[in-house]
Chains A and B, each alone.
Chain A
Amino acid sequence: MSTVVTGPGRKAGSFLHRHPGLRLAGFLSAPLLWLVVAYLGALAVLLISAFWTVDGFTGETVRAFSLTNFQTLFSEEVYRNVTLRSLGVATAVTVICMLIAVPMAFFMAKVASPRSRHWLVIAILTPLWASYLVKAYAWRILLANGGPVDSLLGGPGNGPGYGLVATVIVLSYLWLPYMILPIYAGLERLPDSLLEASADLGARAGRTFRSVVLPTLIPSVFAGSIFTFSLSLGDYITVQIVGGKSQLIGNLVYANIGAANNLPFAAAIATVPVLIMVIYLLAVRRSGALEEL
């Protein structure tokens, strides 16, 4: 195209040049609109519809304010149990991911040679190239009665089978990269010279870890845990495939949308993980983890 901008384009350009505020507004309005309308708007609609009900017979949504959904949610024991179970699974997955990710990320960032470091990062990322469903179904076959996991442990029925244990294993496998990467990024920013200085000043490995590595590590771990925790809390597919008869919050939401056609109640249930995550994020914020993301 031509190199000289002419006519209205040029005028607009110089107008914007003179008004930096407008320039900024124009620049940000599209993403802001996305954030407010598509993101917060959807959340608001979710919260509003949680107060509606559904006609039990025809399945039409009744748009009248009612607290019925929340009453059911709080009075029925089963919803409390499912919430606690989901919290337990999400916590277990986060702890397992953490225990595996910390040594792994430390090795990648501090021990491995810079050349192999790149390959390790790629190796961590490769599982993300495969579809989530393929991986979950692969685990269903791995964990099947008399399948590879059973054989490894000495015969049919020796493995965990399908159930909550299987769900925790598969979710830990699925979300591990999301824990490794923030910890790796955090540790990489820690200069090697600090470790050397600590050693020169006479600190043993344990002391160096506590006083130098840990302060960097904790916020990174929390940053990673936001991913593993929230992804596990909302998951319903893995538990459907390898979870046996167990149900988590996600399954209740799914069952109320897909099977029961009760969108308002599904919305009411969906506010539970939202609330848990808000509390979690507020707690994590104090550790400085949000700066690590």
Chain B
Amino acid sequence: MRSGMSLIAALAAGVLTLAGCGGDGGTTGGGSGPGGLTVPKIDELAALGAGEGEVNVVSWAGYVEDGSTDKAVDWVTGFEKETGCQVNNKIAGTSDEMVSLMKTGEYDVVSASGDASLRLIYGGDVAPVNTDLIANYKDVFDGLKNKQWNSVDGAAYGVPHGRGANLLMYRTDTVTPAPTSWSVVFDPASPYKGKITAYDSPIYIADAALYLMKTKPDLKITNPYALDDTQFQAAVDLLKQQNELIGEYWSDYTKEVQAFKAGNSVLGTTWQVIQNLTEADGAPVESILPSEGATGWSDTWMVAAKAKHPNCSYLWMNHIISPQANAGVAEWFGEAPSNKLSCALTADKSHCATFHAEDEDYFEQVWYWTTPLAQCVDGRTDVTCKDYAAWTQAWTTIKG
């Protein structure tokens, strides 16, 4: 016993010594993003060369389809044949997962949403994109180019992919009357208690903030990603109350499909593509954009700073925003395409109208995922907002 304890003590002492050493060479951290941080200098690709034979992709489910999910849904096989670049796809369930995956250095391109893109840019994980080398870039809607989430000081850090809203999905056989508002997922007396689902990511706090923005005007929330202490606490409290109603949280889309199919979940937040898959599995589900509006995404294809296959990456970025492929993704995933010419190529000719592809006023109502910063993203300077680290810790507390 004695020897065992002294061994542990010796080990602990050694560790403490080492930990102390670690402190000496440490960098100072705590930068608060734009304003506090500078973008690492990374050169863009100057000229396009021959393909390297493969490209490693991190994407959202439904963005990279090679016909294995549905034979008719395939915009990868043609690209592989044409360019000789084998596409190795890795699906990520959340933006945080995308950031972690890109930090491994194993991947070349990523379909980053607004809550990942700036973190990747300032983290030095992605390189600026030479848009001259991407022929299809000229056809991208001007409303999507050089935005705060995909560029820094006029330098493009990627090519816009498409945008859309997080929807409310419900089973038509159990949920009556059909919901029109997000209130059904927050109602403490909900008859669907234990069968409600929510997205398993800290960014979901914004969904609660958006609901409070519309229903509790005295909180004065103007942007669901800029929450001061009081506003943040209100959103967290709402979600803690919602936790009582939740059956399970989802981030793996196959899990949500199965839960809705079996009836373990009957109501909750979703993406259009998940509703398509669930319906294809034979479950009676419907999805709507509730009256309060919704959070959503505007995605950007970005290339890794240390991409091992830069040429194939550029070929891929050019391909995925080409009218044909862009129309394919937009229709399969259920979002607005980024390429003007895509609208003419969708199977459903009203797709662009349904998803408001050119309707900037509509997208004013959709709050794209954005990384919350201490420096409020709504422009307030008299208060400090809760940053993403605080959101992450709160999310653990909400789940209990």
Chain A interface residues (CB < 8 Å from chain B): 40, 44, 47-48, 51-60, 62-65, 72, 76-78, 81-82, 140-141, 144-147, 156, 161-162, 241, 243-245, 247, 252, 255-262, 278, 282, 285
Q: 1/0 per residue B83-110: CB within 8 Å of A?
A: 0000000000010110110010000000
B18 A147 Cβ-Cβ under 8 A: no
B96 A261 Cβ-Cβ under 8 A: yes
Chain B residues with Cβ below 8 Å from A282 are 1, 4
Minimum distance in angstroms from B282 CB to a CB of chain A: 14
Residue B291 at the chain A interface, CB threshold 8 Å? no
Residue B29 at the chain A interface, CB threshold 8 Å? yes
Minimum distance in angstroms from A2 CB to a CB of chain B: 47
A-B contact pairs, 30 of them (CB 8 A): A44-B11, A47-B19, A48-B15, A48-B18, A52-B22, A54-B29, A55-B31, A57-B37, A59-B119, A65-B26, A78-B396, A78-B400, A140-B258, A144-B262, A145-B263, A161-B194, A241-B255, A243-B248, A244-B248, A252-B396, A257-B100, A258-B97, A259-B100, A259-B392, A260-B389, A260-B392, A261-B96, A261-B103, A278-B8, A285-B4
Chain A residues with Cβ below 8 Å from B31 are 55, 57-58
Chain B residues with Cβ below 8 Å from A256 are 392
Residue B192 at the chain A interface, CB threshold 8 Å? no
Chain B, Cβ-Cβ closest to A53: B29
CA distance A247 to B246 in the complex (A): 13
CA distance A258 to B32 in the complex (A): 22
Select A78's contact among B94, B119, B264, B397, beta carbons within 8 Å. B397
- Give the size range of B's interface with the partner: 35 or more
Select A162's contact among B37, B124, B264, beta carbons within 8 Å. B264
Chain B residues with Cβ below 8 Å from A58 are 31, 33, 37, 119, 122-124
Chain B, Cβ-Cβ closest to A62: B29
Indicate whether A162 sits within 8 Å of B100 (C-beta atoms), given known contacts A44-B18, A64-B27. Answer: no
CA distance A57 to B377 in the complex (A): 13
Minimum distance in angstroms from B104 CB to a CB of chain A: 11
Chain B, Cβ-Cβ closest to A40: B11
Chain B, Cβ-Cβ closest to A255: B396
**20 additional contacts, CB 8 Å, given A78-B396, A144-B258, A244-B247?**
A52-B22, A56-B30, A56-B390, A58-B123, A59-B99, A59-B119, A62-B30, A64-B22, A64-B23, A64-B26, A65-B20, A82-B400, A144-B264, A145-B262, A161-B194, A161-B247, A247-B399, A255-B396, A260-B96, A278-B8
Chain B residues with Cβ below 8 Å from A40 are 11
Minimum distance in angstroms from A37 CB to a CB of chain B: 14
Residue B160 at the chain A interface, CB threshold 8 Å? no
Chain B, Cβ-Cβ closest to A140: B258
Minimum distance in angstroms from B94 CB to a CB of chain A: 6
Residue B177 at the chain A interface, CB threshold 8 Å? no
Q: Which 7 A-B pairs have the closest CB atoms?
A: A64-B26, A65-B23, A56-B389, A62-B29, A58-B123, A144-B262, A259-B96
Residue B249 at the chain A interface, CB threshold 8 Å? yes
CA distance A283 to B25 in the complex (A): 40
Minimum distance in angstroms from A48 CB to a CB of chain B: 5
Q: 1/0 per residue B28-42: CB within 8 Å of A?
A: 111111000100000
Chain A residues with Cβ below 8 Å from B8 are 278
Residue B387 at the chain A interface, CB threshold 8 Å? yes
Minimum distance in angstroms from B90 CB to a CB of chain A: 13
Chain B, Cβ-Cβ closest to A150: B262
Chain B, Cβ-Cβ closest to A49: B22
Chain B residues with Cβ below 8 Å from A243 are 248
CA distance A32 to B212 in the complex (A): 59
Select A48's contact among B22, B97, B246, beta carbons within 8 Å. B22
CA distance A280 to B265 in the complex (A): 39
CA distance A243 to B97 in the complex (A): 21
B22 A51 Cβ-Cβ under 8 A: yes
Indicate whether A245 sits within 8 Å of B247 (C-beta atoms), given known contacts A57-B32, A59-B103, A144-B264. Answer: yes
Chain A residues with Cβ below 8 Å from B263 are 145-146, 156
Q: 1/0 per residue B349-369: CB within 8 Å of A?
A: 000000000000000000000
Chain A residues with Cβ below 8 Å from B32 are 57
Select B399's contact among A47, A147, A245, A262, beta carbons within 8 Å. A245
Minimum distance in angstroms from B16 CB to a CB of chain A: 9
A146 B262 Cβ-Cβ under 8 A: yes
Select B388's contact among A57, A147, A252, beta carbons within 8 Å. A57
Residue B114 at the chain A interface, CB threshold 8 Å? no
Chain A residues with Cβ below 8 Å from B25 are 63
B262 A147 Cβ-Cβ under 8 A: yes
Residue B49 at the chain A interface, CB threshold 8 Å? no
